[in-house]
Amino acid sequence: MSGRLSAWLPAALALLVLASAFIAPGWLLNHAIFAFARGLAVLGLVLLWRAGLVSLGGALYFGLGGYTVALLQRQAGISDALLLIAGAAAVSGFAGFLLGYLLKRYRGIFFAMMNLALSMIAYGAVVKNSALGSTDGFGIAQPLFFGVQFAEPHRAKLALFAVLVVVSYAAVHLARAYLGSTLGWMATGIRDNEIRVEYLGYPVERAIQVKYTLSAVLGGAGGAFLAMGLGQVDPDSMFNWIASGELLFVMILAGPSNMLAPFVASFFFELLRTYALEIAPRAWQFIVGATLVLLIFFAPNGLLSLFSRMRGLRRRS
């Protein structure tokens, strides 16, 4: 029964989220789009984390995805949302595959800092390039959904969110299937003792490159959704180290064990930041930082681990 429940839970949650979107106010729908878009990128970071690799430059592929959407609209005249998302994921995945040849040799702090350095190089290149919009970025027109353009902005946001939920649902299932495969099971072995994995005949560097490429694909798709949700792209919101820090914050909130956790943690982060900014505009960073410190102390395995702790306390009582 528990296996059936875990299999049907993502579908039930996806249907519940879609149903809730039709009655949610506009501001909450916007935050849900931003949360799920970041959740896709964080899901890719979690795949790396399972192998003991932490990236401080997740915004690199997040930004590539967003700018690919803008350039495909402006230069190629592509306006269909699905084509824009597929193009962003393909460009980011190709960049991740190429950079994976370099990064698969590094571990620990060197892997993390190399990603941060590459992200800041991309940020500097975009800021200094007027053809890429420099510091102003680009505006993004409302995309088409299966050839249909909605005149009302709220309906367009609903359509975008529906596509985002379906893509997120598929990404969770594919991530679970990947982690259940031989290549996915290698993540734990690489994290614990990669020399032993090599002795067993599995190529560790190739496995890391595959994980890195998958992480880049998810990051690019998340950046594409965020760009269409915002209606613009600029270097500060896409490539800057602050964007990488937000993704890392959500990754810590999510923990490495559950594939649904990145979306729950990302939505929690969006609401936390929104209400902290409303309650204390000059000290909202303190509230967000203190929340992270408390969660690291009391829920080091992620936000959802609090529920398992509560279940344990109930059973003991």
Task: Give me the residue label for tokens 């909605």.
Answer: 150
pLDDT at 3: 42
pLDDT at 90: 94
Two structure tokens written together for 122: 């991309």
On whether residue 81 sits in a domain, the answer given is: yes
On whether residue 211 sits in a domain, the answer given is: yes
Query: What are the φ/ψ torsions at residue 138 (nearest 5 degrees)?
Result: -130, 150
Two structure tokens written together for 119: 């992200």
On whether residue 293 sits in a domain, the answer given is: no
Could you give the CA distance from residue 33 to residue 45 in angstroms, rounded to a whole number? 19
How many CA atoms lie within 13 Å of 195's alpha carbon, on the beta-carbon side? 0
H or E element: which one contains 101? helix 81-103
On whether residue 253 sits in a domain, the answer given is: no
Say which residues have a Cβ less than 8 Å from residue 232's Cβ, sequence separation at least 6.
137, 138, 139, 140
| Range(s) of the domain holding residue 221 | 2-240
Task: Give me the residue label for tokens 């997120």.
Answer: 168
Contact 21, 29 (CB under 8 A): yes
On whether residue 160 sits in a domain, the answer given is: yes
On whether residue 252 sits in a domain, the answer given is: no
Instruction: Write the burial class of residue 162 (CB in 10 Å: 0-12 exposed, 13-18 middle, 19+ buried).
Output: middle
Q: Is 74 helix (H, G, I), strand (E, B) or coil?
A: helix
CB neighbours (10 Å) of residue 26? 10
On whether residue 274 sits in a domain, the answer given is: no
Per-residue pLDDT of the chain (317 residues; tens, 9 = 90+): 344 444 555 666 666 666 666 666 677 788 888 989 999 999 999 888 888 888 888 889 998 999 999 999 888 888 888 999 999 999 999 999 999 888 888 888 888 899 999 999 989 888 888 888 888 888 888 888 877 777 777 778 888 888 898 898 889 888 888 888 877 777 777 777 777 777 777 788 888 888 999 999 999 999 999 999 888 888 888 888 888 888 988 888 888 778 888 888 888 888 888 888 888 878 888 888 888 888 877 777 777 776 666 666 566 66
Could you give the CA distance from residue 148 to residue 40 in angstroms, rounded to a whole number? 25
Q: What is the pTM for the complete model shown?
A: 0.87
On whether residue 258 sits in a domain, the answer given is: no
DSSP β-bridge partners for residue 145: 148
Query: How many domains are contained in the chain?
Result: 1
Which stretches of 104-240 are DSSP H helices?
A: 108-127, 153-180, 182-199, 204-230, 235-238
DSSP β-bridge partners for residue 80: 144
